[in-house]
Amino acid sequence: MYKEDLLLTDSKRNRFSLIYEFTHPLAMCEEMLHCDNADEVRAVVNRYAMFKAHSWEIVSDEASYTKLKHIDCFGNVKYLFAYKTVLSKLADFSDDELVIELIKRGYKVNK
Structure confidence at residue 105 (pLDDT): 81
* Spatial CA neighbour of 6 closest among 37, 36, 30, 40: 30
Phi, psi of 52 (to 5 degrees): -80, -15
* This model's pTM is above 0.85: no
What is the chain's pLDDT, residue by residue, as a tens digit (111 residues)? 899 889 999 999 999 999 989 999 999 999 999 999 999 999 999 999 998 878 999 999 998 999 999 998 889 999 999 999 876 555 667 788 888 888 888 888 876
Structure confidence at residue 89 (pLDDT): 58
Per-position DSSP letters for the chain, written without gaps between them = -EEEEEEEEETT--EE-GGGTBS-HHHHHHHHTT--SHHHHHHHHHHHBS-TTS--EEEEE-SSEEEEEEE-TT--EEEEEEEEPPPP-GGGS-HHHHHHHHHHTT-----
Structure confidence at residue 56 (pLDDT): 96
